[in-house]
Structure 1
Amino acid sequence: MDLYSLKRFVARYKLYITIILILICGYVYVSGHDKTESEELKKDVVASTAHAFHEEEKTITVYIDGAVTTPGIYIVAEDTRLYMLFEKAGGLCEDADIGNLNPASLLKDGQKITVRKIGDIEDIDESDALIDINHANKDELSALPGIGQSRALDIINYRNEHGPFATIEDIMNVSGIKENTYNKIKDLIKVN
């Protein structure tokens, strides 16, 4: 085939050659593009699965009893509020008295919630009379012997900076609270 014959062949089939080249280029483009989308989709699936698994780890275990439809132990998300636990426990009974509970409060791991019935005589639990230094406000803390308004703010600031107290003895890590002050308040405080 000489050069002249090749030119005639190209001129005669120019349209067909162009269409074939466009189809080949399109196929190559789409094949590579689908592979990229497929790889991105796989990455998204792996990432969302890992995210879902990670979120599953953030659970707490709580116990609810008293005037709820289904008392018992529940495993709930870490950010669950008390009213959500009421729903999970089948709701409150008609004679439930939640006056001593805050339905908007966040639950804590290992927490026990007792929903009293209207007219129940409150059992005075010695631990309920104690001040929880991890949740007490300035007024509650300043009511403790040897702890004034200023020291109460120091306790709250320490708690906010370092996290909750693990034991009641940890309150001695707060500036200005030494063993003498601790001995005055140790029977009046708790950590929860």
Structure 2
Amino acid sequence: SDDEGSDEDPKLDFRIIAHQGTVNRVRCCPQMNRLVATWSDLGEVNVWDIDKQVKRLDDPGAAGPPPTPHQPPKFTYKDHGVEGYALDWNPVHTGKMLSGDVEGCVCLWEPQEGGWAVSKIMHASKKKKKAAPMRFSGVSEGASVEETQWKLGGSGAGDVFATASNDGGIR
């Protein structure tokens, strides 16, 4: 290799943000990479503004104290009530996102001043079914939504999405 004879050890720089519970999934907003969403095993989806941490990584010698690892999330959604794994930022519409949980609920996140308006648009459980602005076939009762994915290109990009669940369904 080109580095033969080099005695330098590799160096890894990182910044920490304290997070409640286990991080099940983390996704970065494609249009605003300072916005990061996390799914927690506590049933919460958090959105974080990591701008200070990224700037400090870009300029590690910057004067002043490092960013606090105990910053609160910019926004927290607790109404899933159970943990989840499905999380996807919209590739076209900045700040728009989907989250899906282990009980088959999918939520649509739409940015608004001061945070997000989050609405349940699909749910497998008949007893928890809510009125939804969108109507389409949901997952089987008891199925976990494991993945969500927005259409990336062509007609319907950013407006059409699919879900995959542990019942083998893709919708």
TM class by shorter chain equals: under 0.3
Structure with bigger strand share is: 2
TM score, norm. by length of structure 2: 0.25
TM score, norm. by length of structure 1: 0.23
Structure with bigger helix share is: 1
